[in-house]
Chain A
């Protein structure tokens, strides 16, 4: 009996001693979120006025400014999705590389904006254009004008010609929304 007791106490003591953390050697490394698109940069260039370039960054759903859009003008819009690494952001080229698993949709509110996917946009294998590069024609805007942009990952279906081939805001079903941002546009 004593033997059993001794063995037990020895084992208990042993694994408490062995399992103590030895100094700070095993400090785990920090990990940044590789999946999360921490920053979206939207650059608009006025086709009629090359000096009218507007850049807006959105971090944590908050934009650092708003778009000034002139009715009647057409803008060339480029989207850049960025991932945080330590304390800086870098562009993700994975969306382009995995074009068949991604799709971008646009949703204006309180503004009549026609979106057409640009000739130099990335074309998916199914012939649909991704939406990284688009042209926005501004018919009219109001003070409360807004533009919502979504990046959908792995949608079940995509349709660039929604609501029509002349206005390609785009539509998806299913999938995960990786980006859902809204910027003021007026």
Chain B
């Protein structure tokens, strides 16, 4: 009953006073896209009929009086109504046959529609089996996605070589803000909160903003059932690497009248991490998260209010926190064995404390002819404190304390019809970044306000059941209004003539400036989806996306303790424009129990790619450091992701993924730095549904050596044993290829209790990853056994 939207009775014809029977005819139509529904079963009293291709039905000889009308369609909820027949009737019955798909306020990406976007999804099973991993490590299970790490506690997802501001992360519909702070900041997300995670590759999801020129990660919570129930789970994990554990719980109460309330939380604590044969001092972490939401989601209208927050504290490996070129030389060449072993749970300086809180209100309403309107407002509070090894009264004062407040609001309209849909929206956001001067250390990122306003429109058209097309366009305006102090000589050398209007005042050797920078970005994409047969699908997506430079690229100013680099932003940087061609070919073949292959070649080109390039050296009382500045270069990336899945037997499945990428800086005629090396991942899974959902999976991960890399080494001069020596610290050469194995085993112990064993790095292999910025100082983690007990209710 509840999904019946409308019933219109249209009376026509003359009622003959003497007649005792009438004809009743009508149509059954979908509410939101106005499709006429074929094969709907309509019962009126004792008569039953089916609708034809045009959704029409008719009854003749219906006797006068009240009759029960029931309309059923395989994809819809039943509709029941009493109809009084006292004349000939025309009934227009409107059902909603997508009600189970789109109850949520957040649209569920496009993985349920025929779209041209190239997307991969991690489902709940995969999330559950790896629930103690962070987002970066979890997503690197997807072909073409890897993780950029700074040690093992800070990981950012990399989609086909692009990361940071070029990737948007949508947490329950809210674009996470903190990626603006640069490479050493990981997204703060409790992955157990979500039902599935979609990774949209390329800049084809303009709905989510223009910044995600490399891709979008969409994290979606579960859709709740429309019934009176309480459900949830309690999770308990033991983690051998770091001798830690995790406790988590989720509870959901839903009602048949569409109301729901849910809450959940996770606490995790680990000590120093193991690499093969050793532990790394000061690599422990503590994490907690909490989320709460309530609302009402009916088909016609709904709203929800939600909060989620995470707090994290983690240590930075002491052996990777260095500050003079000679220290780098010694650490890279001879290691720092005195910072190994002596396992501890304590987290000392250097360390980071990171908090991220999100509050969101959203509401939607559907109008029968106008379509659906969705409004969303979100508030985000980010804080990052970095504690270094300091002296005196500053010992316990962070050397960086950033606070970022983000307000965002959007209004989106969606209209769907039989062969087309049009989604349009406007959005606005405001950010206030405040680096606390109480740190008594120079600001890496300055004080700034950022204003954004955007509008987009996405049109999808269905030419036939085989061919779909879409086109999208988006305009965004961004403004930075910042206050920043420069050293006088730096300002005078680089910016004084070009940006004289930003000058505010000069005091001693420092100049206060107020840069106000505006950016106009126009992004667009077109896509095709062609499915000539059930077994073959072809997708093509062309996009052009423009991105506003992030604050690190414009304003950064300081030393990276892990990379021996003085990082300098560049005020002259303009917007970055990226062109993308994405192709996907997928086929289903009749091999054994079924073989699915998908190949996804892509090309990215930019004539304004923002890249870090060595631009000089800086003399300090700690030695001579290379300076890297952000510059815009011509860049090209091309690569391919291939996935194959073969069902060997009903219970035995083999999966394989291969990705390779080549990135070039065409301006300087050298490879781009930090391009993920070629990788091949294989897994075999045995799944026995009886007796107790038993499964065993063995995974093998082969990462090849990256042979293409730019050379940016550090020359050092120092005195040793009475002799002055000049040496080179090799920061460029990527590490060797490696292969590692993981295994997972699990089953339902009892009706509601599930157990999962997972072993990462089964053979305790020593290896380093090119995309770990601390790879010079540490191996990747050693064997890790994670046991998770999950009680569902």
A contacts, CB < 8 Å to B: 1, 4-5, 7-8, 11-12, 15-16, 19, 21, 24, 26-40, 58-62, 86-87, 92, 94-95, 97-98, 101, 107-110, 144, 146, 148, 150, 153-154, 156-157, 173-174, 176-182
| Minimum C-beta distance from B558 to chain A (A) | 10
B residues 498-537 touching A (CB-CB < 8 Å): 504, 507-510, 512
Q: Which of A5, A12, A157 contacts B428 (CB 8 A)?
A: A12
Cβ–Cβ contact A179 & B407, under 8 A: no
| Minimum C-beta distance from B438 to chain A (A) | 9
Cβ–Cβ contact B619 & A61, under 8 A: yes
Would you give 19 A-B contacts (Cβ < 8 Å), ordered by A? Answer: A1-B365, A4-B411, A16-B451, A27-B504, A31-B441, A35-B390, A35-B399, A36-B621, A60-B619, A61-B620, A86-B508, A94-B391, A97-B392, A107-B722, A174-B319, A177-B324, A177-B623, A180-B326, A180-B621
A7 — which chain B residues lie within 8 A by C-beta?
375
A95 and B390 CA atoms in complex are apart in Å by 11
Cβ–Cβ contact B622 & A4, under 8 A: no
Cβ–Cβ contact A40 & B407, under 8 A: no
A144 — which chain B residues lie within 8 A by C-beta?
724
B319 — which chain A residues lie within 8 A by C-beta?
174
A60 and B487 CA atoms in complex are apart in Å by 14
B723 — which chain A residues lie within 8 A by C-beta?
109
* B748 sits at the interface (CB 8 A): no
Given A176-B322, A177-B326, A30 and B430 touching (CB < 8 A)? Answer: no
Given A31-B443, A107-B720, A156-B339, A98 and B391 touching (CB < 8 A)? Answer: yes
Q: Which of B441, B481, B483 contacts A34 (CB 8 A)?
A: B441
Cβ–Cβ contact A154 & B389, under 8 A: yes
Cβ–Cβ contact B375 & A4, under 8 A: yes
| Minimum C-beta distance from A103 to chain B (A) | 14
B339 — which chain A residues lie within 8 A by C-beta?
156, 174
Cβ–Cβ contact A157 & B483, under 8 A: no
Given A31-B437, A176-B327, A182-B719, A12 and B370 touching (CB < 8 A)? Answer: no
Given A107-B719, A148-B719, A21 and B512 touching (CB < 8 A)? Answer: no
A154 and B339 CA atoms in complex are apart in Å by 12
| Residue among B411, B446, B509 having the largest count of chain A Cβ atoms under 10 Å | B411
B451 — which chain A residues lie within 8 A by C-beta?
16, 19
A174 — which chain B residues lie within 8 A by C-beta?
318-319, 336, 338-339
A16 — which chain B residues lie within 8 A by C-beta?
428, 430, 451, 453
| Residue among B391, B442, B443 having the largest count of chain A Cβ atoms under 10 Å | B391
| Minimum C-beta distance from B341 to chain A (A) | 12
* B613 sits at the interface (CB 8 A): no
A174 and B338 CA atoms in complex are apart in Å by 7
Given A8-B375, A27-B512, A59 and B447 touching (CB < 8 A)? Answer: no
* B463 sits at the interface (CB 8 A): no
| Minimum C-beta distance from B320 to chain A (A) | 11
When C-beta atoms are compared, the residue in chain A nearest to B507 turns out to be: A30
* B786 sits at the interface (CB 8 A): no
Given A4-B373, A35-B399, A157-B338, A180 and B324 touching (CB < 8 A)? Answer: yes
| Minimum C-beta distance from B347 to chain A (A) | 16
A164 and B392 CA atoms in complex are apart in Å by 32
A157 — which chain B residues lie within 8 A by C-beta?
338
| Residue among A19, A98, A157 having the largest count of chain B Cβ atoms under 10 Å | A19
* B321 sits at the interface (CB 8 A): yes
Cβ–Cβ contact B485 & A94, under 8 A: no
Q: Which of B388, B621, B624 contacts A58 (CB 8 A)?
A: B621
A179 and B325 CA atoms in complex are apart in Å by 11
A8 and B412 CA atoms in complex are apart in Å by 10
When C-beta atoms are compared, the residue in chain B nearest to A163 turns out to be: B721
| Minimum C-beta distance from A166 to chain B (A) | 15
A19 and B390 CA atoms in complex are apart in Å by 36
B residues 130-152 touching A (CB-CB < 8 Å): none
* B363 sits at the interface (CB 8 A): yes
* B381 sits at the interface (CB 8 A): no
| Minimum C-beta distance from B117 to chain A (A) | 27
Cβ–Cβ contact B323 & A178, under 8 A: yes
| Pairs A-B, 6 closest by C-beta atoms | A177-B324, A61-B619, A156-B338, A94-B392, A34-B440, A107-B719
Q: Which of A109, A181, A182 contacts B722 (CB 8 A)?
A: A109
Cβ–Cβ contact B428 & A15, under 8 A: yes
* B122 sits at the interface (CB 8 A): no
When C-beta atoms are compared, the residue in chain A nearest to B349 turns out to be: A154
Cβ–Cβ contact B441 & A37, under 8 A: no
Cβ–Cβ contact B510 & A35, under 8 A: no
* B367 sits at the interface (CB 8 A): yes
Cβ–Cβ contact B622 & A180, under 8 A: yes
* B422 sits at the interface (CB 8 A): no
| Minimum C-beta distance from B226 to chain A (A) | 24
A98 and B389 CA atoms in complex are apart in Å by 12
A1 — which chain B residues lie within 8 A by C-beta?
365, 367, 370, 373
Cβ–Cβ contact A108 & B394, under 8 A: no
* B377 sits at the interface (CB 8 A): yes
Given A8-B375, A34-B394, A148 and B621 touching (CB < 8 A)? Answer: no
* B763 sits at the interface (CB 8 A): no
A154 — which chain B residues lie within 8 A by C-beta?
389
A36 and B388 CA atoms in complex are apart in Å by 12
* B409 sits at the interface (CB 8 A): yes
* B449 sits at the interface (CB 8 A): yes
Given A31-B440, A157-B338, A109 and B428 touching (CB < 8 A)? Answer: no
A101 and B390 CA atoms in complex are apart in Å by 10
Given A16-B428, A109-B719, A174-B319, A30 and B621 touching (CB < 8 A)? Answer: no
Cβ–Cβ contact A40 & B390, under 8 A: no
A46 and B72 CA atoms in complex are apart in Å by 105
Q: Which of A24, A26, A97, A176 contacts B323 (CB 8 A)?
A: A176
| Minimum C-beta distance from B250 to chain A (A) | 31
Cβ–Cβ contact A109 & B620, under 8 A: no
| Minimum C-beta distance from A169 to chain B (A) | 10
A182 — which chain B residues lie within 8 A by C-beta?
719
* B718 sits at the interface (CB 8 A): yes
Q: Which of B324, B449, B510, B624 contacts A30 (CB 8 A)?
A: B510
Given A31-B437, A61-B619, A174-B319, A15 and B409 touching (CB < 8 A)? Answer: yes
A107 and B449 CA atoms in complex are apart in Å by 49
Given A1-B365, A19-B407, A19-B451, A178 and B440 touching (CB < 8 A)? Answer: no
* B439 sits at the interface (CB 8 A): yes
Interface residues as binary, B354-397 with A (CB distance below 8 Å gives 1, 0 otherwise)? 00000000010101001001010100000000001111101000
Cβ–Cβ contact A108 & B621, under 8 A: no
When C-beta atoms are compared, the residue in chain A nearest to B440 turns out to be: A34
When C-beta atoms are compared, the residue in chain B nearest to A110 turns out to be: B724
Given A40-B621, A58-B621, A33 and B441 touching (CB < 8 A)? Answer: yes
Cβ–Cβ contact B365 & A4, under 8 A: yes
Cβ–Cβ contact A61 & B621, under 8 A: yes
Given A1-B370, A176-B327, A60 and B411 touching (CB < 8 A)? Answer: no
* B432 sits at the interface (CB 8 A): yes
| Minimum C-beta distance from A60 to chain B (A) | 5
B residues 381-438 touching A (CB-CB < 8 Å): 388-392, 394, 399, 407, 409, 411, 426, 428, 430, 432, 437
A108 — which chain B residues lie within 8 A by C-beta?
719, 722
B623 — which chain A residues lie within 8 A by C-beta?
61, 177, 180
| Residue among B327, B439, B453, B723 having the largest count of chain A Cβ atoms under 10 Å | B327
| Minimum C-beta distance from B710 to chain A (A) | 27
When C-beta atoms are compared, the residue in chain A nearest to B338 turns out to be: A156
Cβ–Cβ contact B437 & A28, under 8 A: yes
When C-beta atoms are compared, the residue in chain A nearest to B390 turns out to be: A35
| Residue among A27, A58, A61, A174 having the largest count of chain B Cβ atoms under 10 Å | A174
| Minimum C-beta distance from A76 to chain B (A) | 22
A61 and B485 CA atoms in complex are apart in Å by 23
A177 and B329 CA atoms in complex are apart in Å by 12
B388 — which chain A residues lie within 8 A by C-beta?
35
Cβ–Cβ contact B442 & A33, under 8 A: yes
Cβ–Cβ contact A12 & B409, under 8 A: yes
